[in-house]
């Protein structure tokens, strides 16, 4: 049976202990950055080709607001505005589409320097982090049409049309999406700090009142909608994740304390065992 072709790997394959000089590290880092950058640019070309579809998707909240009686239009303030928008959206699409490539390049660079246990933790945190970030992004995308519809309702009735600057609108969309995505990563960071022994789970739980206030204040600032219900709707999932992170941290602390107590008991038992200092029979003269 013919062997399957193997993917090209780093030169570390010839070096089982992964010992490399600083120059080798820098050269490998440079090569992986170049590969990632080329991948982003190639995928940006694909993004350029599907720009019309992406632009329709990004401007769907405006279309949805128009369907509910608004009179809005995306405005390009300069001659190069439409081209600038196309390039920016294409680069964002290139970064997203090429994510598997540059994430692999990052992992291939740092992975060989980790132990098996560290790699297992890194995989777990990476997968959970991606899921949490995706949930935050999904929440932001879900709220965007409602946000645009409510915010544009403040346009005076005498105005014939609401002109929205394209660059400002794109920045607004990306800010909402990134803010919610990053907010959902905070609980994972809390668990990571606990795993590293930098903070106790009880300490995290002790400040829950301040944490809830900070979460609601943050959501109030990041929330594009003026009504309080949307703020509560956004803050509740993050608050739930905060308490879940506290529970995981406390459970981890209990496991660590249990292992430490077992080791201390074994050490005490070993020290308490009597040592036979008598001489063997017939050895006395």
pLDDT per position as a tens digit, 45-86:
999 999 999 888 888 888 888 887 777 788 888 888 888 889
Q: How confident is the model at residue 1, as a pLDDT?
A: 44
* Residue 112 C-alpha from the chain's centroid: 22
Question: pLDDT by residue (tens digit) across 79-134?
Answer: 888 888 899 899 989 988 888 888 888 888 887 777 888 788 888 888 888 888 88
- Kindly list the domain boundaries of the chain, sorted by start residue: 22-178, 185-269
User: Is 231 within 8 Å of 220 (Cβ atoms)?
Assistant: yes
The values of phi and psi at residue 165, to 5°, are -65, 130
Which residue(s) pair with 163 in the sheet? 73
User: Is 79 within 8 Å of 14 (Cβ atoms)?
Assistant: no
Which residue(s) pair with 90 in the sheet? none
pLDDT at 7 over 80: no
Measured at the CA of 39, the angle between CA 38 and CA 41, to 5 degrees, comes to 65
Q: How confident is the model at residue 38, as a pLDDT?
A: 94
Task: Decide: pTM greater than 0.75.
Answer: no
pLDDT at 3 over 60: no
Q: Which DSSP symbol is given to 277?
A: -
Question: pLDDT by residue (tens digit) across 257-273?
Answer: 888 877 777 777 777 76
């Amino acid at each position: 049976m013919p062997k399957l072709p193997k993917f090209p790997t780093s030169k570390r394959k010839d070096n089982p202990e992964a010992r490399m000089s600083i120059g080798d590290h820098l050269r490998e880092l440079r090569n992986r950055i170049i590969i990632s950058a080329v991948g982003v640019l190639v995928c940006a070309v694909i993004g350029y080709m599907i720009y019309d579809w992406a632009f329709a998707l990004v401007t769907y909240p405006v279309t949805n607001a128009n369907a509910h009686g608004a009179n809005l239009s995306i405005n390009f303030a300069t001659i190069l505005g439409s081209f600038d928008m196309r390039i920016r959206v294409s680069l964002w699409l290139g970064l997203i589409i090429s994510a598997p490539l540059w994430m692999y390049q990052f992992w291939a660079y740092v992975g060989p320097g980790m132990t098996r246990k560290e790699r297992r933790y890194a995989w777990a945190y990476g997968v959970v982090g991606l899921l949490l970030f995706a949930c935050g992004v999904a929440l932001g995308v879900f709220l965007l049409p409602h946000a645009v519809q409510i915010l544009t309702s403040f346009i005076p009735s005498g105005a014939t049309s609401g002109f929205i600057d394209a660059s400002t609108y794109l920045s607004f969309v990306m800010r909402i999406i990134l803010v919610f995505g990053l907010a959902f990563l905070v609980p994972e960071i809390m668990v990571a700090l606990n795993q590293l022994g930098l903070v106790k789970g009880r300490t995290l739980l002790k400040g829950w009142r301040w944490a809830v206030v900070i979460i609601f204040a943050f959501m109030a600032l990041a929330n594009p909608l003026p009504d309080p219900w949307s703020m509560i709707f956004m803050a509740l999932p993050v608050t739930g994740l905060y308490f879940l992170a506290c529970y995981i941290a406390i459970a981890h602390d209990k496991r660590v304390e249990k292992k430490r107590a077992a080791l201390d008991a074994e050490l005490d038992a070993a020290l308490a065992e009597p040592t036979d200092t008598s001489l063997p029979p017939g050895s006395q003269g």
